[in-house]
């Protein structure tokens, strides 16, 4: 079996690192990834995908990357059950195993 995903996209917001109840550092990043084909109206749609990073990956990404930067994410898809108001929902998440800093929006503006 194989559970691996590779995404490349722009960060939609600056990253904040929080600590979980167990003391683990956690950051949720959101990537904007344009589709490679046009819709029926002739426009490119964009997918927004949330990814979860832990410990050093979360810290380094928040320190060196910001909104608009392009990053590559290598990770895996994980599901978990979330209970809200007597309802249980199955949620899919991307768990980051590696984040590669590809391009900075600041760097692009100076060129």
What is the total count of domains within the chain? 1
Indicate whether 61 belongs to any domain: yes
Indicate whether 90 belongs to any domain: yes
Q: pLDDT tens across 5-24, in order? A: 999 999 999 999 999 899 99
Q: pLDDT tens across 33-49, in order? A: 999 999 999 999 999 99
- Burial tier of 51 (Cβ tally within 10 Å: 0-12, 13-18, 19+): buried
Indicate whether 45 belongs to any domain: yes
Indicate whether 80 belongs to any domain: yes
Indicate whether 110 belongs to any domain: no
Q: What is the DSSP string of 72-107?
A: EEEEEEEEEEEEETTEEEEEEEEEEEEEEEEE-HHH
What pTM, to 2 d.p., does this model score?
0.81
Range of the domain at 37: 5-104
Indicate whether 109 belongs to any domain: no
* CATH code, domain with 32: 2.40.50.140
Indicate whether 62 belongs to any domain: yes
């Amino acid at each position: 079996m194989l559970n691996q995903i590779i995404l490349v996209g722009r960060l939609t917001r600056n990253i904040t690192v929080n600590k979980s109840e167990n003391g683990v550092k956690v950051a949720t990043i959101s990537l904007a990834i344009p589709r490679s084909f046009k819709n029926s109206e002739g426009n490119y749609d964009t997918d927004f995908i949330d990814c979860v990073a832990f410990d050093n990956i979360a810290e380094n990404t928040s320190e060196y990357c910001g909104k608009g930067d392009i990053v590559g994410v290598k990770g895996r898809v994980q599901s978990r059950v979330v209970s809200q108001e007597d309802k249980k929902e199955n949620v899919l998440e991307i768990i980051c195993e590696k984040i590669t800093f590809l391009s900075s929006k600041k760097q692009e503006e100076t060129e």
